[in-house]
Amino acid sequence: MAPRPLEPRDIPNLITVLRILLVAPFLWLLLEERYGPALALFVIAGLSDALDGFLAKYYGWTSELGGLLDPLADKLLLLGAILALGWLDELPVWLVALVIGRDLVIVSGALAYHLLVERVQAAPLMISKLNTLTQLVLVCAIIIHYGLIPLPEAGLDVLIYLTALTTVWSGATYVWCWGWLAWRKGRRSPAGSSPNGV
């Protein structure tokens, strides 16, 4: 069967794929401490995220594939940046561990809910969006501070602790939501049956 020809509605997904392809050169530049080009790629990736999101919503060019690729691209970029900055000793190890731990908790929680209760509906919470925003601002600030213009240490400390707070808060919120939904699902199930009704 011949592949389906590309259509305008595929543009958001193509932009997302290009953003994923930017992750490797961005991380290489960051680890080589070439902060100017690294920051430029990071900003381009962020702008591409805004662009594909706008196109998908404004024109209705949404798809199941896009719903999977977009958060994957964001996570690869942000988590890679945080790991690289931690490796360079430009972010505290405890914050890197906290971010990784939060993501592991969310992924394992989503998998458990999917297997034991029902299919997970991928809908980011407001606190999760705030956490992503604080991580974006922190990564930009750290790159600017160490590679371009020194920023006030107090301001960086505030960003670090704000990122830590939203990381813990968002992770705990997801766990609470899934636990609450699983409990309600279990109460609705007939006695002696599993949450899936099997």
- Summarize pLDDT for 40-64 with one digit per residue, the tens: 999 999 899 889 888 888 888 888 7
Q: Are residues 33 and 73 in the same domain?
A: yes
Q: Are residues 38 and 27 in the same domain?
A: yes
Domain count, the chain: 2
The Cα 171–Cα 177 span in angstroms is 10
Q: Are residues 82 and 94 in the same domain?
A: no
* Model pLDDT, residue 123: 63
Q: Are residues 5 and 42 in the same domain?
A: yes
* Model pLDDT, residue 193: 40
* Model pLDDT, residue 118: 64
Q: Are residues 168 and 178 in the same domain?
A: yes
> Pick from 64, 88, 112: which residue ends a domain?
88
- Structural domain containing residue 107: 90-198
* Model pLDDT, residue 121: 62
> Pick from 88, 123, 158: which residue ends a domain?
88
At which residue do the structure tokens 């995220």 appear?
49
CA neighbor of 174 nearest in space, from 129, 128, 131: 128
Q: Are residues 169 and 109 in the same domain?
A: yes
* Model pLDDT, residue 188: 59
C-beta separation of 139 from 78 below 8 A: yes
* Model pLDDT, residue 176: 81
* Model pLDDT, residue 70: 86
Q: Are residues 198 and 111 in the same domain?
A: yes
All residue ranges of the chain with pLDDT < 50 are 190-198
Q: Are residues 116 and 169 in the same domain?
A: yes
> Pick from 53, 88, 123: which residue ends a domain?
88
pTM of the shown model: 0.83
Q: Are residues 110 and 198 in the same domain?
A: yes
**8-state DSSP, 90:** S
Q: Are residues 170 and 78 in the same domain?
A: no
Q: Are residues 51 and 100 in the same domain?
A: no
C-beta separation of 82 from 99 below 8 A: yes
Half-sphere exposure of 39 (CA within 13 A, CB side): 17
Q: Are residues 96 and 84 in the same domain?
A: no
